[in-house]
Structure 1
């Protein structure tokens, strides 16, 4: 069991008030973590404002060293992710590898910060003048991260901020704070100066509320639910916001699709880590010629997945983050069935784990269709043609990632043009993501883009310099 304090101004603090972190699989206590009060959250802002930001080459060196330390301690990180998040160990190891990449990509970006020359003589008033911009860090960044990727999503907030020269106030999910603490230890060992990274855990209302209301905090970057994200923006309109707010991801399968590839993509996107990802697949729209063959293969593939203990190397679907989450998702499945949907696979809970579930003919107003499930449930509906599929996809209030499977270039390009989403993938799982690509959504899926280069740009302002004669 790990005991973890607050990290403020380069030093660990251990207040008397703590909370416990438990393993979603068996309920054992895996950590006791400090719970901050408002004055400690404010002290973290003080430390961030006072931080001495190192030069770009030094920030790059520290990010590279941090990546090396994470890589050296990969199994410790993976086992910690498995224990506090309930993530199957194979998926946890994959997350660690991605986080190492994210940190190394951030190190590269730290050395690429550059302004641009401004052609002042483009207008008569500018003749004889020389002008250029210098990138300037915007200031302290409050980073609020969710439980589902407790290492890589933290790396996506902290790495670009350090690269840009912005001090960070980190508030990880109270369900998964231990992995974040391990990462902070690596940054500390890599030599990041005091105040450049501060870890404050505890009640979100206390910690995040303090930062949201503090005018010294320049940026709020948040990954989580739409309701919370938009409320944070409403509460702090003067700040810059990067909001990644989830989705109910859709995929379209045309008659001419490679069904084996489409089924494999659906299985990967819907059931990896029990569907607990912003871009996990929830909705599939299939044209008539492919509908029944696709459903049969998908149901068979879902039934073959190993569910259960996350420590088992073969487990694909482990427990949801809490018993309450399992009950919620199961109730949504039962509501869909009561409304006329049919069950093609799963639907039951075994040893506390909701097995991979495939539904068909689901009403469009069912929660499993129009809300974010965050569980191992996928719904498959037949549509007459691509136009109908596009209408169904775009009817959602979300728009993060979407995918289409087809052998027709014309069909693919039509879908690319018409689908309302931050990313459209062709013949790829809609859950596909690399850590340097622009990532973010439209509508209720948020605003701004993550992906290391794009996140860095969001944290810089161009300072204009004009030289007279």
Structure 2
């Protein structure tokens, strides 16, 4: 039973209130974190504000030197971090460790990219203004609220925290409830790295009780949030005067346009749909294909799905329990609705509490909830359509616009279709995915606003400050 405390101004906070974190595999407590109250959260923002100017005054290389010690502490404790993550979100141990190491790569790249955030120098000559030299550098916004999701509690947290800190901001970090053990463990790494007081604060607690308090504090200069559409829209409504970067849900389509490499297409679709039990905003969540190609493609997809291992994170199973029984109830509801309306279950539709077998559903039609709602679980619907135009129309009809995949060997056709899909990114002949992490990552519609990615995060967490020299 792990017991990890909130972290404010370099002090571990124990107010006597605790929030239990449930292990999705055993449905027993994996540990507990401090359940903060409003006064504690306000102290975190005060600490961050008080520390910010001195932190920003440090030279960039000084800040990087301190953050490198944090990075080294991650490597030192990588196995422990992966174990905690696996216990609290049921991600298999192999993938949990891969997430930790991927995060270190992001940190290293962030340090190098920060060194290239050079000021912009320009003259006024083009506008007829002589004897003026403008120097515009990027400076910290101030206090950043970073909110991470449960599915990538280490990677998606530090992809926000490190860019914020390296550019001179201070951070108040709120991990998702499931993911709070991983988030709170970062405080130990901060102490080991000798972080100055107040630059990094971890606030934990029940979201429904403290969510509004956390997101509406007047000290916040920017919110970087990854999570559900519902919470994201609440933040939009409350943070009208606060800069926002939001990464929300997705209903990422895969459009199969030819049958020239169906084995590759099927392999990409299955790994894209079922990785981490489908609990990814970038998971492939529906496949559009015409009948003729579907009759050849679907059996190959089924063959791949049947080979996916199902079990526990300790077994390094490919399919592990979804985050809780409420989520599995929702996923099952989408499957049941499709069955009742005539869809055909080709594999799966088996469940033991919140352990759900990978489910392949054919003959899904637009009147079924599974065609439109994000399951965030291991289920893949096949929608048979008559034309490429219909695929594009159905793809664009969604209220989501995060990513899409187009499978086609004719690159001209693939690019032409990709340009017509209303989404942040289209992957050609590959599954939808967040990386490489140096690429911009964005969603439109209900999938979010703003842009992430290493350089883009450095830009979003800073603003221009100009000095004009008149001579």
So what's the TM-score if we normalise by structure 2?
A: 0.96
Contact preservation (8 Å) 1:320, 1:375: yes
Contact preservation (8 Å) 2:434, 2:441: no
**Cα deviation digits, residues 152-203 of structure 1 (max 9, x gap):** 0111110111122111110101122111122232233222211111000002
Deviation at 1:372, TM superposition (A): 1.1
**Alpha-carbon separation, structure 2, partners of 1:2 and 1:107:** 32
Is 1:152 aligned with 2:161?
A: no
Deviation at 1:260, TM superposition (A): 0.8
**Alpha-carbon separation, structure 2, partners of 1:38 and 1:106:** 33
1:290 maps to what in 2?
293
Pairs aligned (count): 467
**Alpha-carbon separation, structure 1, partners of 2:207 and 2:353:** 31
Deviation at 1:462, TM superposition (A): 0.6
Contact preservation (8 Å) 1:60, 1:108: no
Deviation at 1:446, TM superposition (A): 0.5
Q: Which runs of 4+ in 1 moved over 4 A?
A: none
**Cα deviation digits, residues 420-455 of structure 1 (max 9, x gap):** 111111011113522221111011100011111101
Contact preservation (8 Å) 1:398, 1:443: yes
2:400 maps to what in 1?
398
**Alpha-carbon separation, structure 1, partners of 2:190 and 2:347:** 45
**Alpha-carbon separation, structure 2, partners of 1:351 and 1:392:** 33
2:315 to 296, 312, 315: 312
1:254 maps to what in 2?
257
Residues 211 and 120 of structure 1: CA distance in aligned 2, closer, same or farther (over 3 Å): farther
1:61 to 58, 61, 65: 65
**Alpha-carbon separation, structure 1, partners of 2:416 and 2:365:** 26
Residues 69 and 399 of structure 1: CA distance in aligned 2, closer, same or farther (over 3 Å): same
Q: 1:69-218 counterparts in 2 under 5 A?
A: 69-124=73-128, 126-218=129-221
Contact preservation (8 Å) 1:21, 1:31: yes
Deviation at 1:96, TM superposition (A): 1.2
Is 1:370 aligned with 2:375?
A: no
**Cα deviation digits, residues 384-439 of structure 1 (max 9, x gap):** 22222111111111011101111101211111210111111101111352222111
Deviation at 1:206, TM superposition (A): 4.3
Unaligned runs of 5+ in 1: none
Give the match's secondary structure for 2:246.
strand
**Alpha-carbon separation, structure 1, partners of 2:116 and 2:200:** 21
**Alpha-carbon separation, structure 2, partners of 1:407 and 1:211:** 49
**Alpha-carbon separation, structure 2, partners of 1:354 and 1:63:** 40
**Alpha-carbon separation, structure 1, partners of 2:252 and 2:260:** 19
Please, what is the CA RMSD of the aligned residues?
1.4
Residues 188 and 452 of structure 1: CA distance in aligned 2, closer, same or farther (over 3 Å): farther
**Alpha-carbon separation, structure 1, partners of 2:318 and 2:95:** 8
**Alpha-carbon separation, structure 1, partners of 2:351 and 2:197:** 47
1:354 maps to what in 2?
356
**Alpha-carbon separation, structure 1, partners of 2:38 and 2:226:** 22
**Alpha-carbon separation, structure 2, partners of 1:130 and 1:408:** 50
**Alpha-carbon separation, structure 1, partners of 2:163 and 2:229:** 23
Give the match's secondary structure for 1:135.
strand
1:38 maps to what in 2?
38
**Alpha-carbon separation, structure 1, partners of 2:10 and 2:281:** 33
Unaligned runs of 5+ in 2: none
Give the match's secondary structure for 2:244.
strand
* Bigger Cα displacement from structure 2, 183-192 vs 263-272: 183-192
**Alpha-carbon separation, structure 1, partners of 2:139 and 2:216:** 23
Deviation at 1:4, TM superposition (A): 1.0
Give the match's secondary structure for 1:311.
helix
Is 1:4 aligned with 2:4?
A: yes
Is 1:422 aligned with 2:424?
A: yes
